[in-house]
């Protein structure tokens, strides 16, 4: 799938009017409460400070958004803003040419630019020179800006540099340890500010924050660190993962109807082969079924058709899983193939192997023990018929062969009746398992009841999550009674979340993080309300 098709699928799946997490969205406005004091500080320093101002933060921290807010919040009659991107003006000559264009002058030398700044100050306008992506500037270009920021008697512009944190060391080296610049470091968004930021982004694309679950919002905040650029990237990845999971479930449900034609053809061939095998098996079983009409009686028994027991003999033997007895067309009958001798030799070992003895009628045998008769080819040399736990049927004695009928006596088998002990010993094994599960169940229930009894507006610290309850219980037992855990479902699997304490406010919970052990602080615990915990447990 190409990138264009992937973007179209993403927009169609969530019914977005545009990509809500694109880097540049027209009309997007979001300025959190924590950035308003920074904006006021910039205006204050521009009015009363003579130093160059450096606004730093990692990539995607919102420096460009702050620069836009600074320009938008200035009085256009009192401030003349000159905005230059260092990505296309890294060298001094190009940089000075862009500044000259912003000041509406043809001269690009330093003295001419300062003279133009002085002319604007005479008309009551101060000059704000804002350099975006300033980390791209060369050292020579940075040195020119330091000189411009100092100014001369004719005029002095207010220079703002918006750059990554690695620019600080470069500016410090060029200033020769003199106090020539002031640093303002941006801070990441809090979890609530991340939620508000996501809501504004989604509402601009005709959706709402309800598109994301509480767990997804927490995941986006944790992965992004609270920086706006990373929030955009992580939020888009989370939504794409959810879309792929839903589409994968739909495709797996309709897989037999959406396979390629060659795969369907192969499956059809396999199905035909299986059906043919089953059909041949059914025909073979039909051939082996009792067919009294095909049995040929001995020539000597022909004058007595009413007393001939050939048909009943064949029917009884077929019910026991043996093939019907056929006689050759000669004048002399063939001997029966071990009809009476096979049962005394085979039945007793099979009964012992299957655990079927007298007195064990109610004992459930393992599934591996065969319980259905299996057909055996009617060869006289094979003495082992198919195992069958069913009792031996009484065979009616024919007139021509009385001896084989008198042999079923060993089917009673009194001796193997003493072997139910291995089966009986398996029953008590279920009791320790049930007993072992009782403490775990009670511990989980008591933890959930503790959370349900807390004030929903109070806060607790979420420490970590684990997929096993044993791991959560071991962590709690090692670190103290202030740690508790609850169970919730995450992506269809159980997740055991460990929390610490109960606090009346978010500030109190945040302050308690510093008192936790170093290994717990390494997991970056964050506060959350008991209302959200209760909702996660109910979900």
- CA dist 355 and 336 (Å) reads 30
- CA dist 318 and 217 (Å) reads 70
Instruction: Give the 3-state secondary structure of 454-501.
Output: CCCCCEEEEEEEECCHHHHHHHHHHHCCCEEEEEEEECCEEEEEEEEE
Where residue 199 falls among pLDDT bands split at 50, 70, 90?
A: very high
- Check whether residue 170 and residue 104 sit in a common domain: yes
pLDDT of residue 288: 54
* 500: its two tokens: 């610490």
Q: What is the bridge-based pairing of β-strands 126-132 and 79-85?
A: parallel
Q: What is the DSSP letter of 155?
A: B
- CA dist 284 and 280 (Å) reads 6
Reply yes or no on whether the pLDDT at 333 is more than 60: no
- CA dist 199 and 210 (Å) reads 9
Reply yes or no on whether the pLDDT at 297 is more than 60: no
- The residue with greater pLDDT, 427 or 520, is 520
Terminal CA-to-CA distance of the chain, rounded, Å?
35
Lowest mean pLDDT segment, chosen from 79-88, 290-299, 305-314, 452-461: 305-314
pLDDT of residue 377: 46
pLDDT of residue 355: 41
CATH code of the domain covering residue 130: 3.40.50.300
Residue 471 in contact with residue 477, Cβ under 8 Å?
A: no
Residue 87 in contact with residue 133, Cβ under 8 Å?
A: yes
Reply yes or no on whether the pLDDT at 205 is more than 60: yes
Choose one of 158, 185, 212: the last residue of a domain. 185
Tell me if 84 is assigned to some domain. yes
Reply yes or no on whether the pLDDT at 320 is more than 70: no
Q: Taking the CA of residue 140 as centre, how many other CA atoms within 13 Å lie in the half-sphere pointing to its CB?
A: 8
pLDDT of residue 259: 55
- Check whether residue 111 and residue 212 sit in a common domain: no
Average pLDDT, the chain: 74
- The residue with greater pLDDT, 110 or 349, is 110
Residue 198 in contact with residue 209, Cβ under 8 Å?
A: yes
- Check whether residue 115 and residue 66 sit in a common domain: yes
Q: How far is CA 311 from the centre of its chain?
A: 67
Residue 520 in contact with residue 479, Cβ under 8 Å?
A: yes
Residue indicated by tokens 């905040």: 221
- Check whether residue 232 and residue 118 sit in a common domain: no
Tell me if 222 is assigned to some domain. yes
pLDDT of residue 363: 37
Reply yes or no on whether the pLDDT at 255 is more than 80: no
* 97: its two tokens: 């040419």
Tell me if 367 is assigned to some domain. no
- CA dist 141 and 174 (Å) reads 11
Where residue 413 falls among pLDDT bands split at 50, 70, 90?
A: very low
Q: Which of 190-194, 298-302, 436-440 is predicted most confidently?
A: 190-194
Q: pLDDT tens digit string along 356-391?
A: 434 333 333 333 334 444 444 444 444 444 444 544
pLDDT of residue 1: 45
For residues 192-214, one letter each, b for 16 or more C-beta atoms within 10 angstroms of the residue's C-beta and e for the rest, the string is ebbbbbbbebbebbebeeebbee
Where residue 134 falls among pLDDT bands split at 50, 70, 90?
A: very high
Tell me if 88 is assigned to some domain. yes
Choose one of 208, 231, 253: the last residue of a domain. 253
pLDDT of residue 29: 77
Q: Output the CA angle 300-301-304, nearest 5 degrees.
A: 130
- Check whether residue 161 and residue 80 sit in a common domain: yes
- Check whether residue 204 and residue 121 sit in a common domain: no
pLDDT of residue 81: 94
- CA dist 321 and 457 (Å) reads 74
Burial class (CB within 10 angstroms; exposed 0-12, middle 13-18, buried 19+) of 476:
buried
Q: Is 128 helix (H, G, I), strand (E, B) or coil?
A: strand
pLDDT of residue 395: 42
pLDDT of residue 508: 92
Domains in the chain, number:
3
Tell me if 90 is assigned to some domain. yes
Q: What is the DSSP letter of 439?
A: H
pLDDT of residue 376: 43
Q: pLDDT tens digit string along 77-86?
A: 899 999 999 9
pLDDT of residue 250: 55
pLDDT of residue 338: 45
Lowest mean pLDDT segment, chosen from 98-112, 281-295, 426-440: 426-440
Write down the pTM of the prediction: 0.45
- Check whether residue 51 and residue 148 sit in a common domain: yes
- CA dist 205 and 57 (Å) reads 28
Helices and strands per DSSP (H, E), number in the chain: 19, 9
- The residue with greater pLDDT, 289 or 380, is 289
Tell me if 7 is assigned to some domain. no
Q: What is the bridge-based pairing of β-strands 126-132 and 158-163?
A: parallel
Tell me if 425 is assigned to some domain. no
pLDDT of residue 353: 40
Reply yes or no on whether the pLDDT at 453 is more than 80: yes
Reply yes or no on whether the pLDDT at 132 is more than 80: yes
Where residue 186 falls among pLDDT bands split at 50, 70, 90?
A: very high
15: alpha, beta or left? (left if phi > 0; alpha if psi -120 to 50): left
- Check whether residue 197 and residue 121 sit in a common domain: no
- CA dist 504 and 463 (Å) reads 18
Where residue 165 falls among pLDDT bands split at 50, 70, 90?
A: confident
Residue 417 in contact with residue 379, Cβ under 8 Å?
A: no
pLDDT of residue 373: 43
Best CA proximity match to 60, nearest among 200, 162, 176, 193: 162
- CA dist 346 and 374 (Å) reads 14
Q: Is 27 helix (H, G, I), strand (E, B) or coil?
A: coil
Residue 500 in contact with residue 460, Cβ under 8 Å?
A: yes
pLDDT of residue 419: 46
Mean pLDDT of 392-416: 45
Mean pLDDT of 395-423: 45
Tell me if 488 is assigned to some domain. yes
Beta-strand ranges (E) seen in 126-255 are 126-132, 158-163, 181-185
* 2: its two tokens: 């190409």
- Check whether residue 44 and residue 22 sit in a common domain: no
- CA dist 384 and 353 (Å) reads 14
Question: What domain range is 236 assigned to?
Answer: 12-26+191-253
Choose one of 131, 161, 185: the last residue of a domain. 185
pLDDT of residue 536: 84
Q: Is 342 helix (H, G, I), strand (E, B) or coil?
A: helix
Residue 102 in contact with residue 112, Cβ under 8 Å?
A: no
- Check whether residue 91 and residue 152 sit in a common domain: yes
Lowest mean pLDDT segment, chosen from 28-37, 89-98, 349-358, 388-397: 349-358
- Check whether residue 214 and residue 169 sit in a common domain: no
Measured over the CA atoms of residue 232, residue 238, residue 241 and residue 245, the dihedral's sign is negative
- Check whether residue 47 and residue 159 sit in a common domain: yes
User: Percent of the chain at pLDDT above 90?
Assistant: 27
* 11: its two tokens: 């927009």
């Amino acid at each position: 799938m190409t990138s264009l098709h992937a973007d179209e699928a993403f927009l169609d799946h969530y019914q977005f009017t545009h990509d809500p997490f694109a880097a540049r969205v027209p009309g997007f406005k979001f300025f959190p409460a924590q950035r308003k004091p920074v904006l006021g500080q910039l205006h204050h320093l521009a009015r009363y400070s003579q130093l160059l101002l450096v606004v730093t933060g990692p990539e995607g921290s919102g420096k460009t958004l702050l620069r836009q807010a600074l320009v938008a919040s200035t009085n256009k009659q009192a401030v003349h803003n000159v905005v230059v991107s260092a990505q296309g003006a890294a060298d001094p000559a190009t940089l000075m040419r862009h500044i000259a264009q912003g000041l509406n002058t043809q001269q690009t030398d330093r003295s001419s630019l300062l003279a133009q700044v002085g002319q604007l100050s005479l008309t009551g306008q101060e000059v704000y020179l804002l350099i975006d992506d300033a980390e791209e500037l060369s050292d020579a270009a940075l040195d020119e800006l330091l000189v411009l920021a100092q100014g001369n008697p004719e005029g002095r512009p207010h220079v703002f540099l918006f750059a990554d944190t690695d620019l600080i060391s470069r500016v410090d080296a060029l200033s020769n340890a003199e106090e020539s610049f002031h640093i303002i470091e941006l801070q990441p968004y809090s979890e609530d500010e991340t939620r508000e930021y996501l809501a504004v982004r989604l509402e601009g694309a005709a959706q709402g924050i309800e598109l994301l679950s509480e767990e997804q919002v927490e995941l986006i905040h944790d992965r992004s660190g609270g920086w706006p650029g990373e929030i955009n990237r992580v939020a888009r990845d989370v939504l794409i993962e959810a879309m792929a999971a839903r589409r994968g479930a739909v495709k797996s449900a309709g897989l037999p109807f959406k396979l390629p034609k060659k795969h369907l053809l192969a499956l059809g061939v396999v199905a035909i082969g299986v059906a043919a095998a089953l059909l041949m098996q059914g025909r073979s079983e039909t051939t082996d079924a009792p067919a009294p009409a095909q049995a040929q009686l001995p020539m000597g028994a022909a004058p007595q058709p009413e007393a001939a027991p050939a048909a009943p003999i064949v029917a009884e033997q077929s019910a026991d899983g043996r093939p019907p007895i056929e006689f050759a067309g000669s004048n002399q009958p063939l001997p029966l193939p071990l009809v009476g001798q096979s049962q005394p030799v085979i039945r007793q070992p099979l009964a012992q192997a299957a655990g079927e003895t007298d007195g064990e009628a109610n004992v459930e045998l393992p599934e591996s023990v065969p319980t259905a008769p299996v057909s055996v080819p009617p060869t006289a040399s094979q003495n082992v018929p198919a195992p069958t736990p069913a009792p031996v049927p009484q065979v009616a004695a024919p007139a021509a062969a009385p001896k084989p009928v008198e042999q079923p006596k060993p089917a009673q088998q009194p001796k193997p009746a003493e072997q139910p002990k291995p089966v009986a010993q398996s029953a008590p094994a279920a009791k320790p398992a049930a007993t072992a599960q009782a403490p775990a169940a009670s511990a989980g229930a008591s933890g959930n009841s503790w959370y349900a009894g807390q004030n929903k507006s109070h806060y607790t610290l979420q420490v970590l999550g684990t997929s096993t309850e044993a791991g959560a219980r071991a962590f709690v037992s090692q670190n103290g009674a202030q740690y508790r855990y609850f169970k919730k479902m995450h992506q269809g699997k159980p997740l055991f979340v460990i929390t610490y304490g109960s606090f009346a406010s978010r500030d109190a919970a945040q302050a308690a993080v510093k008192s936790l052990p170093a290994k717990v602080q390494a997991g970056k615990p964050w506060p959350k309300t008991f209302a959200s915990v209760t909702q996660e447990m109910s979900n």
